[in-house]
Amino acid sequence: ETRVSARVDAIAESATLAVDAKAKALKAEGRPVIGFGAGEPDFATPEPIVRAAQEACADTRNHRYSPAAGLPELREAIATKTARDSDHVVQPSQVLVTNGGKQAVYQTFATLLDPGDEVLLPAPYWTTYPEAISLAGGSAVEIPTDESTGYLVTLEQLEAARTPRTKVLLFNSPSNPTGAVYPPERIAEIGRWAVEHGIWVVTDEIYEHLVYGDARHVSMPVVVPELAERCVVLNGVAKTYAMTGWRIGWMIGPNDVIKAATNLQSHLSSNVANISQRAALEAVSGSLDAVAEMRAAFDRRRRTIVERLSAIPGVNCPEPQGAFYVYPSVKELLGKEIRGTRPRTSAELAEVVLEHAEVAVVPGEAFGTPGYFRMSYALGDEDLAEGVRRMSELLSEAE
């Protein structure tokens, strides 16, 4: 018996935020911890965006409640940006501005799911999805993938997991935590399969602009237009514009879904802070130059980290094509002795790495696949090199 509801009691602490908090606490004690935990760009929010917010503070229109679904100008700008960036043509009425991508995830599942509805959830998955699904009364049906297939789910796997209760497929490309980017043909295949079986697709495109090499981002409802009436696109400014603290995300979907989700939001949180909405308006209507610069830096760090991690015996690090994470397997290191300990799980190994190398990583347990580390490479080049050097030194002792 707990004093809180069983529903909320079942929610696990966000492992990624917990690792980050622990790393910060050790740092505060004076230990030189290098954090690969947070999914957060190390860049400052671009200056014109900050200026737009400063101006918005002085404008008394922004001191009052505004429409729950978002400022009309912002909804329109998001519709325009969506057509510009992914060729997905939508009306402003199909856009709902939320308090970060996280609220968009919660509201989407709360709006789509009835108790017992199943959501196909390819693993490794972002930690928040299963919590949002169960809080909405649904059940997540995990579909495991691994490094041998580049962490991409196949149509056969989806079909094998489909039941009469399957309502939604959660799709996330580029992926957190693996950095995998689905090729356009696979996206088209999956979209057609969803249409054929009347399955909704919730597609989280928050890393759309962070793709490297030959990879490109394509939006599922664009390659399969018939899907649009059963598709919700999730996005936000956090990753693209280094705006994690501003809390602006959005849902794009059919009008009935957006209307229902707006009703929910009107009781939950009302409008998102107007100052942040004005900043986001500047971000989405401005150029993508700053994003291109950040992408170039991430790409450089991606190559460095893949190369150096791959050189560590027992670490198998596929090269990701998107987002800013690597997801190496550390399975071969489990059960080996390191500094008098014998970690048997990736969670235990992550503890050892934090204690002895003073490097914070998030263990694969947080993403539904033990045996891996998620490491964000959205940190400075020097810290990145030093952190991997320390890890390499420590893990090379394993025997």
State which amino acid sits at residue 229: E
- Work out how close the CB of 208 gets to ligand PLP at its nearest, in angstroms, rounded to a whole number: 11
Nearer Cβ to ligand PLP, position 35 or 39? 39
Q: Does 249 bind ligand PLP (CB under 6 A)?
A: yes
Contacts of 60 (CB under 8 A, 6+ apart): none
By the rule CB under 6 A, 176 interacts with ligand PLP: yes
Closer CB to ligand PLP, residue 33 or residue 238?
238
* CA angle centred on 264, ends 262 and 266, rounded to 5°: 65
8 A C-beta contact, residue 121 and residue 141: yes
According to CB under 6 A, which one of 236, 318, 343, 387 is a site residue for ligand PLP? 236
3-state secondary structure of 348: helix
Segment contacting ligand PLP (CB under 6 A): 25-33, 95-103, 106-114, 184-192?
95-103
Question: Could you identify the residue written with the tokens 């928040």?
Answer: 128
Q: Which of 123/206 has CB closer to ligand PLP?
A: 206
Site map for ligand PLP, 98-117, x if CB under 6 A?
A: --xxx---------------
State the minimum distance, in angstroms, from the CB of residue 281 to ligand PLP. 16
- State how far the Cα of 270 lies from the Cα of 272, in Å rounded to an integer: 7
Residue with Cβ nearer ligand PLP (242 or 338): 242
| Cα–Cα separations (whole angstroms), residue 134 to 128, 130, 236 | 10, 6, 23
Stretch 46-85: interaction string toward ligand PLP, x if CB under 6 A? ----------------------------------------
Hey, what are 59's tokens? Answer: 């404008």
179 binds ligand PLP (CB under 6 A): no
Give residues 33-52 in contact with ligand PLP (rule: CB under 6 A): 39
- Using alpha carbons, list the distances in angstroms from residue 143 to 15, 122, 373, 374: 20, 4, 19, 18
Output the CA–CA distances (angstroms, integers) from residue 329 to 86, 124, 319, 349, 370, in the order listed.
32, 12, 12, 12, 9
Please state the closest distance from residue 293 (CB atom) to ligand PLP, in A: 21
Q: Which two tokens stand for residue 311?
A: 């050189």
**What does the alpha-carbon distance between residue 277 and residue 335 come to, in Å, rounded to a whole number?**
50
Which of residues 206, 233, 279, 379 is near ligand PLP by CB under 6 A?
Answer: 206
The region of 97-105, 159-167, 285-293, 297-305 touching ligand PLP under the rule CB under 6 A is: 97-105
Nearer to ligand PLP, 120 or 238 (CB): 238
Q: How many residues bind ligand PLP (CB under 6 A)?
A: 13
Report, in Å, the least distance between residue 172 CB and ligand PLP. Answer: 5
The single residue among 45, 108, 172, 346 that binds ligand PLP, judged by CB under 6 A, is 172
- Given candidates 117, 118, 147, 204, which one binds ligand PLP under the rule CB under 6 A? 204
* DSSP secondary structure letters along 243-305: -GGG--EEEE--HHHHHHHHHHHHHHT-S--HHHHHHHHHHHHS-SHHHHHHHHHHHHHHHHH
Bridge partner list, 236 = 249
Residues that bind ligand PLP (CB under 6 A): 39, 100-102, 126, 172, 176, 204, 206, 236, 238, 244, 249
